[in-house]
Structure 1
Amino acid sequence: AVIFATTALWWWGFGMMMFKWTPEPEIPSNMEWKGITNATKVAYSQVFNTFKEVKKFKVLALFLVAYLLFYDGVNTIASMASAFGESVLRIDQSMNVLLLLTINIVAVPMTIVFGKLADIKGTKFALMLALIIYCFVAIAAAGFAPLELDPNTDSDGDGVPDDANRYDFTFTYNETTELYEMETLYNRGYENWVGETASGDAEFRNNFQEYFPAPDYSVETSNESSIGKGLLVCLFILVMVALLGAGMMFIQKQELGWMGVLAIVVLVGVGIFGASFLAGQATQSDNEVKTITKDNAASIVTNFDNATDHRFSIIFVGGPQSGDAEVGERHPTQVDQGGPIDWWPKTVREYVWAPFGISVSMQWIILGMFVGIAMGSAGAQARSMFTKLIPETRTSEFFGFFGFLGKSAAMIGTFLYGIASSVFDSRVAILSITLVILAGTFLTSRVDLEEGIRVAEEEDARNRGQTSE
């Protein structure tokens, strides 16, 4: 909630600066304000009319079809990245935050670079290059793979294998209590890894669950926030938004220029830091150590050969079962699972990831860098190209339709991803999205910018002539 609130403030603050300081060309209009109801009717009727009139602008219509395709693909990859990372690569959810941070850090300078490239080689060339890079991103993502788990290598000689913390369930022997203490990957707990009723986890539950610490799938757990505490948190967020918003509006009224921008950044930063600090203070950590006996540990090891069709990994460190480990056949490190393109991530891991020791987390950051290169640049160049193809006298009308089309661009790719992942797997699904982007790129290559600009200028001349009369 804090993240959403501070993000809203960030957009609000810089949006207000744009509305206040960005000059807008005067466009003649005979329309009069007749209330919100009339404005709503006019807006929707205008979208419908624009849709009908687009056929008069054939070059623009072709570009909009191309935009619908490639932006659909871009949106699909962005929306499915989290699910892909979770299911295929077993990425920690916190890595998605770093992914977004990396994308935005890289996108800012690369948007400027592609802007310069557009000045030299043309907007269409820059847009197509960004889209081709995005296709490369999808191909590279399909080749991502976690490094293989090694239960034996112990570089520092402390008795704990180097990869012990990469296993889903790590049981470490306590010499004092003579019990095995369980740790789970990313501290998510048994319940958040193994589904209570999921059919895909049935074999794991049937063979191992009775020997694990008793799981608790109940909704109500101790130390969780009550409804009253939740309401207080919501109230705090509302007060924080109001105070920061008022501060931002005050700074904007002072006409401080770039100092005002810096002051707003600092103000929002202080708000984020304060909210994070309070959230950290409010977090109650569960220090309960879950354990199993040596007999239960022996039973788990005994069942290793009886249960292989699952997606989890187990390792024992120390004690009678020291060094015993199990990796299910559907675990993310088992890349070759019968998929049509499993050879690709297997090859890339063998010749790139493993020799250079590039973990899946670092692969995720590399993905963010390449997405950052292409994503912001593709969006900026697409808008720039669209601007060239529309009449200046109907800018608001066409950009409204452009925005409507952008919000609709999340159907083809999502449908294709769902079909491909159901019939094949997620790697094939992510690759299938490149077909949508390539189709949009091909149509973009067929757009005649000069002709489109000429038609837009003729429409402007006609509209300005009618207005002057």
Structure 2
Amino acid sequence: MGFRDHIKTKIHAWAMYDWANSAFATSAAVAIVPVYFVSLFKASFGDSIEFFGFNFTGSSIWAVAVAFSALSIAIVGPILGEISDREGKTQRFLFIFTIVGSLATFLCIFTTFWGPGWLWLLFCFSIASFGFLGSCLFINSLMTSISEKKDYDRVSSLGYAYGYIGGGILLVFHLGVIFFTQDTDIEDTIVRFSIASVGIWWFLWSLWTFWSIPETKPKPRKNKEKFNFLSSLKQISTIPMLLPFFIAFFLFNEGIQTVLSVSGAYGADVLGIDLIVNMALIVIVQLVAAPGAIFFGWLANKWGSKNSLLVTLVGWIVVVFLALSFAPLSPDSKDDYDVILKTEGSGAYMVEMPKGEKLSVDYKTSTIPLILRNGNKIIEGDVLYLLDEVDGIEGINFSILVVGGKLDNYFAIGGDHPSSLEGNFLEKWSLLVRTILWKPLNLDVTYQWIILGLLVGMFMGGSQALSRSYFASLIPLDKSGELFGYFSTVGRISTVVGPFLYFGAVGLANQRTGVFIISILILLGTILLKWPFLLRIKDDD
């Protein structure tokens, strides 16, 4: 089939919806909004706030917002899915959720107009995320109406490939305009317009799907009884291998989706990854994920969708444990330090740091903190006090280098600086890998982050596409909407639990501990998918 013939097919029209809404999953949900939200949160509260002994950071609050959106769709998903089957309203529900999601995304443009910017952004994004997750439920269900069972792996992988390419194209545009307006007076405006453009892109491209695919046909119940939630749940145990898949999927999807949803905020919080680098990473992920999805679709035809899915999950485990080793190299040159104190030649030192930023350091010998701003002058005696009050001190997350004068090359690195690794076993793991790998190769955290993007892209498309196609191969066609509602519910509940686990781990320990706990979930899900007899359920494969 030629390209001109392909674009006229229902499969192409269906895949175009992935092209449309994947912009939300890339530019909005991962690349721009999490980092922008963390920056707004820090501008209001600093690195964190403590409430009743619990530590709240930008990334942990972001994780909770993602969780509440997922929980909402998990509650209504099965009910709406059953209605769409019985009354033939799959396209109608897809359109409604598209409107909700794309409009809420567009409204993020007003972040600086009403109240605290971080709060409005969080509110709009939570609604947009609800719309996005709901749309995924119905576009997944629609796959069984436009393709045959033997083609599920290929069609599902093709849809994700479309999504990665479409989302990647818009993200490259966003990366360009944000990069060229960085540190200008219109930077914030451009970021907000970029988020709003995601909503426009999502809505306009989705029209291709709505115009080209007719509404599904009603599938009325034989006894015409109303939807019974308990009876509907019981049927899951009667479909071979569906229940063990749900349990395994709950675990590994919980880990994967949490890693994807908090990665942007984690990078900004822990590793100091800025918005441009984070967006560049997502572009790399998109470029690699599209051929990755096609490759694993091909592999599924050779090895089977379940075995190929297992390969992707093992890859995810490796990726997450490698990500736990990421850490900035210790400052080595002048450009690596956050604050430079440059001699004036008269016993005084001039502060050099980014314009507009301000740092406060408490002195043990004074009730008045020292304020560091670009252009301030500090006498030599105070410089020694300053270095002593910064070096290795918890709560200080920046570094200082003295250039010239009697104190030339004196330096101090705060105890909470991203390069300081003297905590629990996870930080010792990061220190070990940094010592034997990152430092000898001179790969700073930016390059480590790029390596992460290459590996995530390789396995992300395969794990998502094959989970969808393997599930579709297990269910009866006349209950696709209802059962994809449960598929969405299990996925969304897992997406709720994962961020809450991360949130709790951050509050009680730190961000690395949160990621480690999430990695254990992926490992458990992989084990149960491979060996379902551990659940005392026979594998029919």
> Match of 1:99?
281
> Match of 1:285?
none
1:119 is displaced (CA, Å) by: 0.7
1:300-336 Cα shifts (integer Å, max 9, x gaps): 323423443133211122355432211123322122x
Distance in structure 2 (CA, Å) of the matches to 1:85 and 1:188: 23
1:80 aligned residue (262, 276, 293):
262
8 Å contact kept, 1:89–1:332: yes
Distance in structure 1 (CA, Å) of the matches to 2:467 and 2:338: 43
1:342 is displaced (CA, Å) by: 2.9
8 Å contact kept, 1:70–1:441: yes
8 Å contact kept, 1:211–1:292: no
Percentage of pairs with the same residue: 28
Superposition pairs of residues 300-311 of structure 1, within 5 angstroms: 300-307=383-390, 308-310=392-394, 311=397
1:252-272 Cα shifts (integer Å, max 9, x gaps): xxxxxxxxxxxxxxxxxxxxx
The residue type equivalent to 1:301 in the other structure is L
TM-score w.r.t. the length of structure 2 is 0.56
Distance in structure 2 (CA, Å) of the matches to 1:213 and 1:28: 68
Counterparts in 2 of 1:16 and 1:46: CA distance versus 1, 3 Å: farther
Superposition pairs of residues 185-224 of structure 1, within 5 angstroms: 189-190=357-358, 210-213=369-372
1:29 aligned residue (200, 219, 225):
219
Counterparts in 2 of 1:451 and 1:341: CA distance versus 1, 3 Å: closer
Please state whether the residue corresponding to 1:212 is helix, strand or coil: strand
Pick which of 132-141 and 77-86 moved more: 77-86
> Match of 2:529?
444
The residue type equivalent to 1:59 in the other structure is M
Distance in structure 1 (CA, Å) of the matches to 2:491 and 2:339: 43
Distance in structure 1 (CA, Å) of the matches to 2:239 and 2:338: 57
The structure having more radius of gyration, on CA atoms, is: 1
Q: Higher relative contact order by CA 8 Å / sep ≥ 6: 1 or 2?
A: 1
1:415 is displaced (CA, Å) by: 3.7
The residue type equivalent to 1:329 in the other structure is G
The residue type equivalent to 2:445 in the other structure is V
> Match of 2:412?
326
Distance in structure 2 (CA, Å) of the matches to 1:188 and 1:360: 25
1:12 aligned residue (171, 190, 203):
203
1:121 is displaced (CA, Å) by: 0.6
8 Å contact kept, 2:296–2:308: yes
TM-score w.r.t. the length of structure 1 is 0.64
> Match of 2:462?
377
Counterparts in 2 of 1:181 and 1:306: CA distance versus 1, 3 Å: closer
Superposition pairs of residues 421-436 of structure 1, within 5 angstroms: 421-436=506-521
8 Å contact kept, 1:169–1:183: yes
1:347 is displaced (CA, Å) by: 1.9
Unaligned 5+ segments in structure 1 are 32-40, 151-162, 195-201, 215-288, 454-469
> Match of 1:180?
350
2:329 aligned residue (133, 147, 161):
147
8 Å contact kept, 1:60–1:452: no
* Number of equivalent positions: 341
Is 1:402–2:461 an aligned residue pair? no
> How large is the Cα RMSD of the aligned pairs?
3.4
Counterparts in 2 of 1:206 and 1:101: CA distance versus 1, 3 Å: farther
Please state whether the residue corresponding to 1:356 is helix, strand or coil: coil
Distance in structure 2 (CA, Å) of the matches to 1:211 and 1:432: 39
Please state whether the residue corresponding to 1:411 is helix, strand or coil: helix
Counterparts in 2 of 1:338 and 1:178: CA distance versus 1, 3 Å: closer
> Match of 2:335?
165
